[in-house]
Structure 1
Amino acid sequence: MPGALLERGTRGKGRMTAGIGSASRRRISPCRWDPVLTTGRISNDILPNPAARRWPPSFSSIPGWLLSCEMFPAFLIKSVGLGLLAVARLSSAELAVPSDLTVDMSVPGEVNLAWTAANLRPYQLEGSMDLLTWAKVGVPVVGSGAPVSMVDGPVSAARKFYRLRVGAVRPGFDRYSTQRNDDESSGLVPIGFPISLFGRTETHCYINNNGNITFDRQLIDWTPNPLQNLGFTIIAPFWADVDTRPAKSDVVRYSYSSETVDGHPAFGVNWMNVGYYSSRDDKLNSFQLILIERSDTGAGNYDMEFNYNQVLWETGDVSGGVNGYGGSPSRSGLTNGIDRTVELAGSSSPTIQLDANPATGQPNLLTGLIYRSRNSNIPGRYMFQVRGGSVLGALAVNAGPNQTLGQGSTIALDGSASDPGGGAVTVRWSVRKASGVVTFSDPDILNPTVIVPTIGVTELMLTATSVSDPNVSASDIVQIK
């Protein structure tokens, strides 16, 4: 895969040559690799796709500048060199890009790149038919500038612009791997350091193929259940029906004791380019879990990251999904299974956490996992601090006891929700399952009355969201029958 070079962090001298096919062979006009400022600081490079060609999904991108180029050869859209060219003039030290990259365009029809790589980052490529470009990391706003100077071809032709952004998935964490499988789990794997979570200290975990890790038991469940009701602890960056048997899917990979993040020992699991049930690989997801030892702040303390590079499917076929969409979609969060839960906003809600709306093809810029972030300026990265066994930002939610209808169809709900840290929360009731119309007196309070159908089982969900951190929510379900 073209991105492998960047993901592995190649050391030593690297060199790549990209050629142009005979139909495109011509003298290359000099390019001006000068940053072009638009309104404010541009956080992503925007590049054209002159040939409207498809691009392998797992590339990366980097916060930086809008590039201006008098002519951009079409063949570059196919090479790793595209990413390197995109970062050629960036100077921000925190990006850890090669400082000695050279671009040699002296030979007609070729571009030669040479560099000494110390710490390259993974890349992700995204396309847009306009300049809704990403002028601030994680916040889509309308950009400005000179897009005509970045295209190859008639100014009047319809064109699609590309940008590169920093991939949230950290390189490495792939020393060990599982076998190709569906619904299986590893044996107990050492984390490499003790972690304190919800009043317990853990040193080992089970790595489950379906996008999560557990501590008390292996978990084969392919349809994600409400986290609050599990009765056991789980950390789930993307709990869904992952199937690594198809040919285009990679297997689950992980590392312990051999990796660090910012000098701290780290444990990580990669679900990179994984398919979904049943043996489907027409869409692939890439996400990662990282645990970073932080005993410098207290025994058992650590940071936790959910990192997402690509989310194209959300549901397996047997979970009610159709072509990877709908049904009982993925859940992203962690819980002790009783009274402490953190879920990312949009968890278990159909389609909104995907990279794009499958019905319209439009990017989910405000809700997609790869576009948002938490405690990070890198889109797709959600960081949680675990201190003294508690997850900062965990919410407590209870939808109340299950109820049985009496003579009428009106029920008084008895929900509760709070932030143990003292922060404010908002709440909302929604319908998960019903045989007819459900009417709330007010869905945005904890204890509304509700009119439900008198036939069948009705399931209502109470969701609480942190006011100060809207990317954090928790939910619970009550049944009425």
Structure 2
Amino acid sequence: MNVRPLYPIAGTISSRSDDGSSPAISLPQSFNYFGQPYSQIYVNHNGHLTFDAPWSSFSPQQFPMYGTRDIIAPFWTDLDNRANGDIYYVQYTNGSLLQQVTQDINRYFSALNFQANWIFIATWHEVAYYPTTGTRTTFQAVLTTNGRYSFVLMNYGSIASTSRSVQAGYDTKNSSHHINIPGSLSNNATGPNSTFRLNSNVNVPGRWAFRVDHGSRGCTFNGRRT
């Protein structure tokens, strides 16, 4: 199962639970998120990742939230994996996926000479909106680092229509750094014409790439900083 821009869908499957989360997932090395090193992560079923603790929030808020948590949110909305869909998480420290993400990051951030030594992939695969509607939405959050530079990719597959609001992007404690993917909290977020799926900041429709360490918050593509 590997349809561009998605990376392979594999790994541990999280529990079937509304507003649930994965257990704490230990990382083999720290992930530098805007100067804060993290050695664990949680995959929250409502479309976001957190570091300090699991988070059950299903009501998306616009970034910047000026809150107390670091969050990576590829598709924050009210999801429900009890009836259909699976939520996967997996990490690698060697193999072909490290080569693939290395090539991708160097294509988008060509000045850094990046060589990945770790990749973490969380995939929400054909997950329904609450309450178990039978709709099927697929997206990913991909984290990678070489110990110095850190990046997040957000990849979008098929996105079912819904009247629910969706926030996509990331935020930090007190919102010193934050990104909203265009279309967040709008009618253009979901359905076959979802702006997340059709657009990109790296010229790959359905993929968005961000640098999330001490450096710049995005990348320069066609002379435009994103």
- Answer whether TM exceeds 0.5 for this pair: yes
Per the alignment, residue 201 of structure 1 pairs with 37
Per the alignment, residue 371 of structure 1 pairs with 198
- Given the alignment of the two structures, is residue 385 of structure 1 paired with residue 205 of structure 2, yes or no? no
- Given the alignment of the two structures, is residue 307 of structure 1 paired with residue 155 of structure 2, yes or no? yes
Question: What is the rounded CA distance, in whole Å, between the counterparts of 2:216 and 2:39 in structure 1?
Answer: 17
Amino acid of the structure 2 residue aligned with 1:368: T
Per the alignment, residue 352 of structure 1 pairs with 188
Per the alignment, residue 124 of structure 2 pairs with 271
Amino acid of the structure 1 residue aligned with 2:163: Y
Q: Is the 8 A contact 1:236 1:334 kept in 2?
A: yes
Once the two structures are superposed, the pairs formed by residues 322-361 of structure 1 within 5 Å of their partners are: 324-326=162-164, 329-339=165-175, 340-349=177-186, 351-356=187-192
- Given the alignment of the two structures, is residue 241 of structure 1 paired with residue 78 of structure 2, yes or no? yes
Question: What is the rounded CA distance, in whole Å, between the counterparts of 1:354 and 1:468 in structure 2?
Answer: 26
Residues matched between the structures, number: 204
Gaps of 5+ in 1: 1-6, 8-121, 124-166, 314-323, 357-363, 395-420, 422-466, 473-481
Q: 1:347 to 1:204 in 2, by over 3 A?
A: same
Q: 1:380 to 1:206 in 2, by over 3 A?
A: same
Question: What is the rounded CA distance, in whole Å, between the counterparts of 2:128 and 2:212 in structure 1?
Answer: 31
Aligned-pair Cα RMSD in Å: 2.3
2:224 counterpart (462, 465, 468): 468
Secondary structure of the residue aligned to 1:352 is coil
- Once the two structures are aligned, what percentage of the paired residues are identical? 24
TM-superposed CA distance for 1:231, in Å, is 2.1
Query: What are the Cα deviations for residues 323-376 of structure 1, in whole angstroms up to 9, with x where unaligned?
Result: x214xx010011114132111011111x212243xxxxxxx3xx621111122x
TM-superposed CA distance for 1:302, in Å, is 1.9
TM-superposed CA distance for 1:284, in Å, is 0.9
- If asked which structure has higher relative contact order (CA below 8 Å, sep 6+), I would say 2
Question: What is the rounded CA distance, in whole Å, between the counterparts of 1:232 and 1:253 in structure 2?
Answer: 23
Question: What is the rounded CA distance, in whole Å, between the counterparts of 2:154 and 2:216 in structure 1?
Answer: 14
Per the alignment, residue 287 of structure 1 pairs with 139
Question: What is the rounded CA distance, in whole Å, between the counterparts of 2:211 and 2:34 in structure 1?
Answer: 13
Q: Is the 8 A contact 2:21 2:56 kept in 1?
A: yes
Q: Is the 8 A contact 1:374 1:381 kept in 2?
A: yes
| TM-score between both structures, scaled by the size of structure 1 | 0.40
Query: What are the Cα deviations for residues 370-397 of structure 1, in whole angstroms up to 9, with x where unaligned?
Result: 111122x321011112343x45239xxx
TM-superposed CA distance for 1:303, in Å, is 2.0
Q: Is the 8 A contact 1:192 1:256 kept in 2?
A: no
Secondary structure of the residue aligned to 1:266 is strand
Per the alignment, residue 250 of structure 1 pairs with 85
TM-superposed CA distance for 1:227, in Å, is 3.1
Amino acid of the structure 2 residue aligned with 1:275: A
2:48 counterpart (212, 215, 223): 212
Q: Is the 8 A contact 1:193 1:293 kept in 2?
A: no
Question: What is the rounded CA distance, in whole Å, between the counterparts of 1:306 and 1:171 in structure 2?
Answer: 13
Amino acid of the structure 2 residue aligned with 1:293: T
Per the alignment, residue 397 of structure 1 pairs with none
Q: Is the 8 A contact 1:372 1:379 kept in 2?
A: yes
Per the alignment, residue 69 of structure 2 pairs with 232
Amino acid of the structure 2 residue aligned with 1:244: N
Q: Is the 8 A contact 1:227 1:337 kept in 2?
A: no
Of the two, which has the highest radius of gyration? 1
Once the two structures are superposed, the pairs formed by residues 33-44 of structure 1 within 5 Å of their partners are: none
TM-superposed CA distance for 1:189, in Å, is 0.3
Query: What are the Cα deviations for residues 394-420 of structure 1, in whole angstroms up to 9, with x where unaligned?
Result: 9xxxxxxxxxxxxxxxxxxxxxxxxxx
Per the alignment, residue 117 of structure 1 pairs with none
Query: What are the Cα deviations for residues 173-193 of structure 1, in whole angstroms up to 9, with x where unaligned?
Result: x22111111101122102333
Once the two structures are superposed, the pairs formed by residues 145-164 of structure 1 within 5 Å of their partners are: none
Q: Is the 8 A contact 2:209 2:218 kept in 1?
A: no
- Given the alignment of the two structures, is residue 168 of structure 1 paired with residue 9 of structure 2, yes or no? no
